[in-house]
């Protein structure tokens, strides 16, 4: 059993908190504050209880070098606004200047460290770097489910040097996913989209064992159709159809128990443009110069019919290029059906969350996971290094 931070007296203590504040930026500002909003309750609670809160996160992929466009200042501004109080910033995440900034904190203050991944030692889980991070705090809290699948200094290494606790957001993520995967109310329906089948072989295999129905669209649907022998024109597909053929064989073996639906029709165009000329086409009538950009109305109707009867829905990946209105109808239909079903519904993945917010059903589903790769690995049944480190620390 891992330890939570809720019952610990944190007043006057330096609490080092790993959050996942890896948010998209546009024109120097935070473009989507979903992860910031998810982190706020934990940080506010610690601050109100008198902790000296030191927040650390990565942002983007700077590859171990300081990159001005990936500094944490815009995140600090958005976090200040969301918390309703100043979030101080540090010039780095380790070093003398950072130690001075931490020493100057008063009870209730919040300090955001600079991008962890400006240092190659972070992703290398370097022990000396881990020790230096840990020296900034009296306690460590991991609240970053989105990075729990990474064995990095800030997620695993620091647990060797500080009393370590699970944050409420991380606890909630695991509780929700455990409920869906281990105790689903049935029928249990999974909706899968996104780009590559090869990235989700393990996920599909696990879901074929526990779901009653699986609905597959997006690029994954294209690839599985291609593996069946359909000509999908210039659609996005995996270059190597081997994994898709492997999945097809597994689907066929489980067909007696699990209903798996692929697209029957699609919205197609000869180019990916917002104002492209589009048409509906059955999947066996796609021209060589056309590409699938959304599921078609017949498919949407069949998918939503299955969802309407569901008691549990897990959704990862949009049905098409929802960012453009011309190709958003399928994703919107699925989202609306989930919202209206009354099912326990969990959405995972950044694109799915973005679609939920853009298309207006984010507040009508049960839970939107902050994890991308971590969610997929947890669904697959893999042990997440960040969670394992906390469990080890709890038993140390």
The closest of 56, 198, 145, 111 to 102, measured between CA atoms, is 111
Active-site residue, from 13, 35, 206, 358:
35
Q: Are strands 52-56 and 87-89 parallel, antiparallel or unpaired?
A: unpaired
Q: Domain 186-342 carries which CATH code? A: 3.40.50.1260
Q: In what order do the strands lie in the sheet with 14-18?
A: 87-89, 110-112, 52-56, 14-18, 139-142, 164-166
Residues 6+ apart with CB under 8 A from 222: 232, 235, 236, 237, 292
Distance in angstroms (rounded) separating the CA atoms of residues 378 and 181: 9
Query: Is 279 one of the catalytic residues?
Result: no
How does pLDDT run across 135-191, given as a tens digit for each residue? 999 999 999 999 999 999 999 999 999 999 999 999 999 999 999 999 999 999 999
CA distances from 187 to 310, 312, 314, 316, 335 (A): 5, 7, 11, 17, 17
Structure confidence at residue 120 (pLDDT): 98
How does pLDDT run across 262-312, given as a tens digit for each residue? 999 999 999 999 999 999 999 999 999 999 999 999 999 999 999 999 999
Q: How confident is the model at residue 2 (pLDDT cuts 50, 70, 90)?
A: low
How does pLDDT run across 230-260, given as a tens digit for each residue? 999 999 999 899 989 999 899 989 888 999 9
In total, the chain counts a number of residues equal to 396
Active-site residue, from 52, 196, 206, 358:
196
Q: For the domain 14-167+385-395, what is the CATH superfamily, name and number?
A: Phosphoglycerate kinase, N-terminal domain (3.40.50.1260)
Domain with CATH 3.40.50.1260 in the chain: 14-167+385-395, 186-342
Tokens at 61, concatenated: 């992929």
Across the chain, which distance is largest between two alpha carbons, in Å?
A: 68
Structure confidence at residue 1 (pLDDT): 46
Residue ranges of alpha helices (H) inside the chain are 34-48, 73-83, 96-103, 120-123, 127-134, 168-182, 201-210, 218-228, 242-253, 297-308, 329-341, 350-359, 373-380, 385-395
Q: Say if pTM beats, i.e. exceeds, 0.85.
A: yes
CA angle 324/326/331 to nearest 5° reads 75
Structure confidence at residue 395 (pLDDT): 66
Structure confidence at residue 372 (pLDDT): 83
Active-site residue, from 64, 108, 202, 373:
373
Query: Is 196 one of the catalytic residues?
Result: yes
- Is the link from the previous residue into 157 a cis peptide, with omega within 30 of 0? no
| 390 pLDDT above the threshold of 70 | yes
Active-site residue, from 350, 371, 372, 386:
350
The number of beta carbons lying within 10 Å of the beta carbon of residue 391 is: 16
Query: Is 35 one of the catalytic residues?
Result: yes
């Amino acid at each position: 059993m891992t330890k939570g931070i809720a019952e610990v007296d944190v007043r006057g203590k330096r609490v080092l908190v790993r959050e996942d504040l890896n948010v998209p930026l546009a024109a120097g500002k935070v473009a989507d504050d979903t992860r910031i909003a998810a982190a706020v309750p934990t940080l506010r609670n610690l601050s109100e209880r008198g902790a000296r809160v030191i927040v650390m996160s990565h942002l983007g992929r700077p590859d171990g070098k300081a990159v001005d466009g990936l500094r944490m200042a815009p995140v600090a501004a958005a976090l200040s606004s969301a918390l309703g109080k100043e979030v101080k910033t540090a010039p780095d995440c380790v070093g003398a200047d950072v130690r001075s900034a931490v020493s100057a904190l008063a009870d209730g203050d919040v300090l955001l460290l600079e991008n962890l991944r400006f240092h190659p030692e972070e992703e290398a889980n370097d022990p000396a770097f881990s020790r230096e991070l840990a020296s900034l705090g009296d306690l460590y809290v991991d609240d970053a489910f989105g990075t729990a699948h990474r064995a990095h200094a800030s997620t695993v290494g620091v647990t060797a040097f500080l009393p370590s606790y699970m944050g409420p957001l991380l606890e909630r993520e695991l509780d929700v996913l455990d409920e869906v995967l281990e105790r689903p109310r049935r029928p249990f329906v999974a909706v899968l989209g996104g780009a590559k089948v090869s990235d989700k072989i393990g996920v599909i295999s696990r879901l074929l064992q526990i779901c009653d129905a699986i609905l597959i669209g997006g690029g994954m649907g294209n690839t599985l159709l291609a593996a069946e022998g359909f000509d999908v024109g210039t659609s996005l597909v995996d270059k190597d159809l081997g994994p898709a053929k492997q999945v097809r064989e597994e689907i066929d073996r489980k067909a007696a128990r699990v209903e798996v639906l692929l697209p029957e029709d699609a919205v197609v165009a000869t180019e990916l443009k917002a104002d492209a000329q589009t048409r509906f086409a059955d999947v066996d009538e796609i021209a060589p110069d056309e590409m699938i950009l959304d599921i078609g109305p017949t498919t949407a109707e069949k998918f939503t019919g299955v969802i309407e009867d569901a008691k549990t829905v897990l959704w990862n990946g949009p049905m098409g290029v929802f960012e453009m209105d011309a190709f958003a109808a399928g994703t919107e239909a699925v989202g609306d059906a989930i919202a209206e079903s009354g099912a326990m519904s969990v959405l995972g993945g950044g694109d799915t969350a973005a679609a939920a917010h853009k298309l207006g059903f984010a507040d009508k589903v049960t839970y939107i996971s902050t994890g991308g790769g971590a969610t997929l690995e947890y669904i697959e049944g893999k042990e997440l290094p960040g969670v394992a480190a906390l469990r080890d620390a709890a038993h140390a």
